[in-house]
Structure 1
Amino acid sequence: MNKNHLSKRVRLLKINEFFFVFQKPQRIKVHSMTLFSRSNKLNFPRIGLAISKKYIKHSHERNRIKRHVRETFRTHKHNLLSLDFILTVHSKQILSLTNNNLIEELKKLWYHYQNYQQKS
């Protein structure tokens, strides 16, 4: 298996997994994204994506955002607690970000949870 692959076990795929996070989440907003999180009873973090057509009309743009979210999560997951994360987009402004700027904004989100982890 490719080591750079994000396996299914670290992704939220079922609707009840999303509902669980949305029931009592912690929220962080950066630029035009919101990251919801809630602790899980697993020994690893998981990620879910909710990027709607309402704000991002073109599929290639949604896919670009998802690809960068998954990649930054994959590279930072070893520093995160056992949390379930869901990233949502709440503004069209995200389309104005270059790939590098988008990656930097995503790193800010993961950095916050790395700091949060160390304070606990």
Structure 2
Amino acid sequence: MKQSSFKFQRELRLLNSRDYSRVFDKAFKINNKVFTLLVRENDLGHPRLGLVIAKKNLKFAHQRNWVKRILREAFRLNQSSLKSYDMVILTRRDIAVLPKTDIIHLRDDLFERFRKRCK
């Protein structure tokens, strides 16, 4: 796999319930006001991302799609420094009431806290 590519390729995604279950079973958590990041090491040599964006937290599809877009963007831009981890990002209830700029700031904070913890 090319590390210089910024595409969100198929091998960078958690694709099935077995992949998600593996992360949910034995993950360490990093939380902030609107996101929960579950992380578990993998043996693949590259990171993978899964997203759980609940309808009860973001009522409208355009909101859920925007959140998924900004999370994938942050993952793609940081993938070279994320090592071999499977990650699942979940949204929390408070996300619906925050402005977009705050959500982006909290997203960046989440990835920064992850990098500090996994050095």
Same fold per TM (> 0.5)?
A: yes
Match of 1:35 in 2: 37
- 1:43-72 CA distance string (max 9 Å, x none): 111100011112111100000100000001
Runs ≥4 residues deviating over 6 A: none
| Aligned-partner Cα distance in 2 for 1:89–1:16 | 21
Q: Which amino acid aligns with 1:55?
A: N
TM-score with structure 2 length normalisation? 0.89
Query: In the alignment, is the contact (CA less than 8 A) between 1:68 and 1:103 conserved in 2?
Result: yes
Query: In the alignment, is the contact (CA less than 8 A) between 1:72 and 1:103 conserved in 2?
Result: no
5+ residue gaps, structure 2, are: none
| Aligned-partner Cα distance in 2 for 1:4–1:113 | 20
Query: In the alignment, is the contact (CA less than 8 A) between 2:30 and 2:38 conserved in 1?
Result: yes
TM-score with structure 1 length normalisation? 0.88
Match of 2:99 in 1: 98
| Aligned-partner Cα distance in 1 for 2:50–2:95 | 18
- Give the superposed CA RMSD: 1.3
Change (3 A) 1:5 1:47: same
Match of 1:22 in 2: 24
Match of 1:47 in 2: 49
| Aligned-partner Cα distance in 2 for 1:88–1:32 | 8
Match of 2:118 in 1: 117
| Aligned-partner Cα distance in 2 for 1:11–1:98 | 27
Q: Which amino acid aligns with 1:103?
A: I
Q: When the two structures are aligned, how many residues end up with a matched partner? A: 115
| Aligned-partner Cα distance in 2 for 1:42–1:4 | 18
- 1:3-55 CA distance string (max 9 Å, x none): 54311110111110000000011011111211101000011111000111121
5+ residue gaps, structure 1, are: none
